[in-house]
Structure 1
Amino acid sequence: MHLMCIAVLWVGWSWFAVGVAAALYVLRMFAITAFYHRYFSHKTFKASRLVQGVFAAIGATSVQRGPLWWAAHHRHHHRVTDTAEDPHSPGQHGFWRSHMGWFLTPRGFRTRWEAIPDLRKFPELRFIDRFDILLPVLLAAGLFALGGWLEEAAPQLGTSAWQLLVWGFFISTVVLFHATVTINSLSHKFGSRRFDTRDDSRNNWMLALLTFGEGWHNNHHFFPGSARQGFRWWEVDLTWYGLKAMSWLGLVRDLKPVPAGLIRAARGRA
């Protein structure tokens, strides 16, 4: 994945290809933060089986494995945060292991089925989890085919099969991956601590912007049961805004808010 990004030196760039890469970053980041994290891992809102399946599939194109694997490991992380049992604690295991090395181990690569009894009953989710490489391959093939067609049908866009593949899939996916895992490696080291949690979680506004609200990590570890992670009005949480919009459209429902008492407590803290 990372090596293929170097191909940008040969395929060049176009506004169309960069726009596709940005759009796929936004769509897939939302699928990861809203559904893989706040829905599958924490059940902070409700959705129909169709909606959960669609966003499980979109999230799987991010090459962050399937929704069951993702949710199972995240639930385990919350149970053992920043202890020796936490597979991606930077305080326990260092930067590189917490950033990406942990899931390359046999223990990290397997799905913790015991942690997700509520999710493993869905055969479509088990299918996506078992064949998690299928949807990224289909996305890559689709982008390659689209780029090839546009090269002939709309040459004014300045794109090609290889250019759209490199920008739309490889560059977008690699940036998305590293943005997501900074929450493991950086948000337990850098930032402010509003709440005295039993872990090293931090609030980091830069990571919050990059990850659509996930950087308000100390807030999240203090109260993981809320669909909203930015507790103050100025704590930008794009995932929360997207979920609110989806609720107005009837696509999701019963968004769990931050309790009023926590909002008042947050006002009195940094």
Structure 2
Amino acid sequence: MNQLLFLALHATPLALFYIEINLLDWALCAGLYGLRMFGVTAGYHRYFSHRAFRTGRFFQFCLAVLAQSAAQKGVLWWAANHRRHHAASDTIHDVHSPVQRGFWYAHLGWWFGNDHNKTDLSLVKDFSAYPELRWLDRYHVLPFLGLALITFWIGGWSGLVVGFLLSTLLLFHATLAINSIGHMWGGRRFSTRDASRNNPVLALLTLGEGWHNNHHYFPSAARQGFHPLEIDVTYVVLRFLALTGLVYDLKPLPDRIMRDMRAPHSGNPAAL
């Protein structure tokens, strides 16, 4: 997302006062938010960044296309920067640490800086081996534009503004809130080397990504809500897709995680 698109998205709420809005527009907004959030959480994050499950080449491409329709840059760029984040979480080498650079840098500043514009293919050699993913990463705006046209065809101008642009804006900030809020406010079930937090509000907004302290304790798990009461919609959908055969080998939590959850630990005990 470049600066021009960023400004255009944030002007979207002003347009709501000048157009007639109907139920279809709000249905498109909710549907596209949830669908693309799944693309980001299951695709960009759990699959391309952490390989928390396996899938075939075709569905792998579909996940990348869906995620890129969220206007959060290319699949290889996203995964490379996220892997860099985990390698140096909340240190001076972290891509977006609020501990090191403050809330606004972690939320937005790093996104528009020049330090992280290019895709470091050396960090994603496993996926950069696929030419279709390299092509998609290079032309990352195409899925976004394609979905915009489809939404306009379905809902007209009001569908485009409310259904597509508003949902993109909400999706953008909810995702980046994991980098900022997810390392500042919430409970800490596990003692990790960073400041990651479990935040139930973020978990609801991001289909399960808000259980961020859990995730940093065991990043490769397909699930991030470790406790039965920790809602993780992304994992529920992945379990359903596993029944269809589209995805498989979902990485489980090892038994030691359950023991660690029951054992006393340092840090602030999570009440989540």
Same fold (TM over 0.5): yes
Structure 1, unmatched stretches of 5+, are 148-160
Q: Deviations over 1:151-180 (max 9, x none)?
A: xxxxxxxxxx11000012110000001001
**Runs of 4+ deviating beyond 4 Å:** none
- Secondary structure at the counterpart of residue 218 of structure 1: helix
- Partner residue of 1:69? 77
1:256 maps to 2:251: yes
Q: Tell me which of 182, 185, 188 is aligned to 1:190.
A: 185
Q: For the Cα contact (< 8 Å) 1:60–1:67, is it kept in 2?
A: yes
Q: For the Cα contact (< 8 Å) 2:107–2:179, is it kept in 1?
A: yes
Could you tell me the TM-score, scaled by structure 1's length?
A: 0.93
- Secondary structure at the counterpart of residue 125 of structure 2: coil
Q: Deviations over 1:60-109 (max 9, x none)?
A: 00000111000000000000100111121011111111101102112122
* Correspondences of 1:137-148 after superposition (within 5 Å): 137-147=145-155
**Aligned CA-pair RMSD:** 1.1
1:242 maps to 2:242: no
Q: For the Cα contact (< 8 Å) 2:84–2:95, is it kept in 1?
A: no
Could you tell me the TM-score, scaled by structure 2's length?
A: 0.92
Structure 2, unmatched stretches of 5+, are 1-8, 265-269
Q: How many residues align?
A: 257
Q: For the Cα contact (< 8 Å) 1:2–1:170, is it kept in 2?
A: no
Q: Partners of 1:12 and 1:92 in 2: how far apart?
A: 45
- Partner residue of 2:45? 37
- Secondary structure at the counterpart of residue 244 of structure 1: helix
Q: Partners of 1:4 and 1:198 in 2: how far apart?
A: 39
Identity over aligned pairs, percent:
47
**Alpha-carbon offset, residue 268 of structure 1:** 4.1
User: What letter matches 1:184 in structure 2?
Assistant: N
**Alpha-carbon offset, residue 141 of structure 1:** 1.6
Q: Tell me which of 153, 162, 186 is aligned to 1:167.
A: 162
User: What letter matches 2:17 in structure 1?
Assistant: L
- Partner residue of 2:267? none
User: What letter matches 1:144 in structure 2?
Assistant: F
Q: For the Cα contact (< 8 Å) 1:213–1:230, is it kept in 2?
A: yes
Q: Deviations over 1:191-237 (max 9, x none)?
A: 11111110000111111111111111111101101001111111111
- Partner residue of 1:152? none
Q: Partners of 1:20 and 1:131 in 2: how far apart?
A: 25
